[in-house]
Structure 1
């Protein structure tokens, strides 16, 4: 078999890249994925998961996701797991119907031998050789670690009642006490699901090795609510331009509501760009039993051993493991390389936008050096120490896009751009004023953020 591009990984990013690539170039693309259907980690997600961001700017550029409905809190809808499965099935059907995309699901990519790539059908065991005429695209470099395929990093004694979050709906019973282990979005989802299914807050114990910073969901909304989103970004730039150091910056962002802590009295170091709504934040603050004794080392039938102590666990306690890594904070490497593309984050918190952007640039042509200047890799954050680097990288990249007329038009027009609605609503006072504030401060903000970045040995609480 021969192909122009071999995309290894048919998750959301691999699909968004392929969709943008064939929209701009007459090429043949082959996608390989070990799962039996496209969609990546969404095929393994827990049953009550929802998209973290609004559906309006997620997926592939050519097919809208959802109907831009508002939820009960007044925010744009976020697709459920089953909705995402149906969406990715539709994406696969459209790519297949193009006649230029071949989907090899249920296949392992075994590597390259004498310049030819080898894949194996997981059902039949038959190997197939693929010659790549142009480039191999690594869409697995930032592959997420999800609860269903995650193994705990701590010891579990035989008989200790530990489950993954995906099993939670199967074990809810009257009188049980739930010990939620983890500090990030998955733990938040577990706690909010329990609270929403009539589990009293005093029946939830939350083992949080670190406290985390969160964003307010209302400031990451598209379309008619893009004014609030632009105002939040303007606040980021203004705070960064005026802050004397990182502590001052965080204080300004928290005072402005841009960053949130579940417990404002507890120091927070973890930052994974997760979002909470006001209602979610209020509900989570009802959980008083929070254990801050470091990471779990071992779970036994009657106790939990942690780095700095232990807590008792009776027979009614069900431990819920929410410690899967989630976002992969792999080190940055050039995105465009000779005969290779490595999909990574460029604009923060925009995974499918980034993949489509990279696909568009690959289709447009140009040198790897020029494309890398437009797409500097921007690793996912792990700690709040990563916030300055993350935002500075995004704002530098956006400045380069604005200077490229063709690319600027593509960015403004793609539905995957969170800020796509800014252009159509620029005349309205909220958007106009927010854009003016951002433009006035972003230059100084980038300079200040460069000075706030810690040395490489200290970057991120890992």
Structure 2
């Protein structure tokens, strides 16, 4: 058995845990941190993701505070042309490996235990076990256990389908697709994507860009989805006016709407939200971000099965309960039904700070790394759990158009709380992970004339806030009733 002593034991070396540790090292220069993770290298669920996955938000506010993720330039090609880069799978893994090997471990204040599973513990004494060797670790924690695994992220390679698959059925997950070239004598003659979320959209785009004709693709979408228009969510230092307009659009469309569907319809008319089929009213919203060029590609697929969930697959048949649909021979069924964040977690929220435990959640949705970094800052600079938790009530994890207004209202309230505190306001002004803070601080220092656009936001939010709260509270009741 090996023994360790540390100030903070962090479970998870993914986007959450590493954003927390990165900020903690800067804000608490005397502490020691031990990180353990089941994966063989840093990056958490990104290790398990399909190889053609990329961030769907600009990389400018992803990762950790201390290190940029992608060059600050505009993409010139592909469906992200004209916008700032989206880090790709290999880039994300390389980024986290560099962070660990060039910053965290060399600091002398971080012990990293990969391929290690947390076993349990309490009162400052915890146990872990090396997955391959079976070696046991006894870890004395002087300050706190930090849980970076609350999100329980699920990706296709770690997800078990909720339907039966008959023998002989050609079945794949998205990560299998780039290897189809290895068996050119046995290529699929038809493809069927199962799932309506961002993974399914990524897969459809990949197939189309790889040259598969749209008529050779079926798509099972139990629910259609609204998505944020990526062109409005570019880095603040380059496009602050668009971010301002985006925020104004949200509050104006919420005010006066009777429900989430009406709010989304108004946002769709403004181009703030996008949907694949304009004749369908989407009921799902998972905070996905997409480009207009991607939507144009996805609209090429017209063999769509809506409002149904697959219960079984057979070699040339899809089964939806009592309904059977014949499919072309040699159809490859592609499972995209994994939910990146299992939304059943919505009813398992707990305070960020509880004695000798920190549970990393969302301070603002969907800003995962920012929320973790903010928690590290608050841990160092505030004294009591009550004081800390008042600054970061966990943001609701909503997944429908009906409940999203609750998340939007919670974000606005969080912004007011954090900007009203001198310390957290200063943190936001320097945090690379905050969507607007550093850009606004730089503009103020330089007297940038674009600051005039910012002056519109406060009055607009204030004028529309009564309607935002009314809609948000109704959405909150729906959200809590579904939990």
Is TM more than 0.5 here? yes
Other-structure match for 2:118 = 109
Cα distance in 1 for partners of 2:370, 2:108 equals: 24
Does residue 154 in structure 1 map to residue 163 in structure 2?
A: yes
Other-structure match for 1:209 = 222
TM-score by length of 1: 0.95
Other-structure match for 2:83 = 75
Q: Is the 8 A contact 1:34 1:107 kept in 2?
A: yes
Residue 456 of structure 1 deviates from its aligned partner by: 4.9
Residue 356 of structure 1 deviates from its aligned partner by: 0.3
Q: Is the 8 A contact 1:235 1:438 kept in 2?
A: no
Q: 1:100-126, CA deviations, whole angstroms, 9 ceiling, x for partnerless residues?
A: 111111101111167521111122111
Residue 234 of structure 1 deviates from its aligned partner by: 1.4
Map 1:26-41 → 2, pairs under 5 A: 26-41=30-45
Does residue 363 in structure 1 map to residue 385 in structure 2?
A: no
Q: Is the 8 A contact 1:218 1:229 kept in 2?
A: no
Q: 1:191-220, CA deviations, whole angstroms, 9 ceiling, x for partnerless residues?
A: 000111111111111011111111111121
Does residue 318 in structure 1 map to residue 332 in structure 2?
A: yes
| Cα gap change, 1:247 to 1:43, in 2 (>3 Å) | closer
| Cα gap change, 1:307 to 1:384, in 2 (>3 Å) | farther
Unaligned runs of 5+ in 1: none
Other-structure match for 2:27 = 24
The structure 1 residue matched to 2:9, chosen from 6, 18, 26, is 6
Cα distance in 2 for partners of 1:458, 1:334 equals: 17
Cα distance in 1 for partners of 2:402, 2:114 equals: 39
TM-score by length of 2: 0.91
Map 1:92-241 → 2, pairs under 5 A: 92-93=100-101, 94-112=103-121, 116-171=125-180, 176-222=189-235, 223-241=237-255
Where 1:272 maps in the other structure, the secondary structure is coil
Residue 427 of structure 1 deviates from its aligned partner by: 2.9
The structure 1 residue matched to 2:404, chosen from 387, 391, 407, is 387
Unaligned runs of 5+ in 2: none
The structure 1 residue matched to 2:300, chosen from 286, 302, 313, is 286
Moved over 4 A (4+): 172-175, 456-460
| Cα gap change, 1:441 to 1:307, in 2 (>3 Å) | farther
CA RMSD of aligned residues (A): 1.9
Residue 441 of structure 1 deviates from its aligned partner by: 3.5
Residue 458 of structure 1 deviates from its aligned partner by: 6.7
Where 2:226 maps in the other structure, the secondary structure is strand
Q: Is the 8 A contact 1:218 1:277 kept in 2?
A: yes
Cα distance in 2 for partners of 1:191, 1:78 equals: 18
Q: How many residues get paired?
A: 461
Q: Is the 8 A contact 1:273 1:381 kept in 2?
A: no
| Cα gap change, 1:435 to 1:293, in 2 (>3 Å) | closer
The structure 2 residue matched to 1:435, chosen from 446, 449, 457, is 457
Q: Is the 8 A contact 2:260 2:403 kept in 1?
A: no
The structure 1 residue matched to 2:93, chosen from 85, 89, 96, is 85
